Amino acid sequence: MKNLQFLTFLVIGLLIVMLVNIMPIAANGDNNSSLRETLEENRQLWRSQTIKNYQYIYQQWCFCPPPSNDYLKVSVKNDKITEVVNLNNNQVIPDSTFPKTIEGLFKIIEDAIKRNADEILITYDPTLGYPTRVAIDYLKILADEEMTYTVENLSKLD
Domain residue ranges in the chain: 32-156
CB 110 within 8 A of CB 127: no
What's the confidence (pLDDT) of residue 18? 42
The whole-number average pLDDT for the span 24-32 is: 49
SS3 category, 19: helix
Per-residue confidence (pLDDT) for residue 24, from 0 to 100: 36
Residue 149 pairs in a beta bridge with: 60, 134
Do you find a cis peptide bond into 131, omega within 30 degrees of 0?
no
Q: Using H for helix, E for strand and C for coil, what is the string for 6-39?
A: HHHHHHHHHHHHHHHHHHHHHHHHHHHHHHHHHH
pLDDT tens digits, residue range 66-110? 777 899 999 999 999 999 999 999 999 987 777 999 999 999 999
Reported pTM: 0.77
| Average pLDDT of the chain to the nearest whole number | 83
Q: Label residue 120 by pLDDT band (50, 70, 90).
A: very high
Does pLDDT of 15 surpass 50?
no
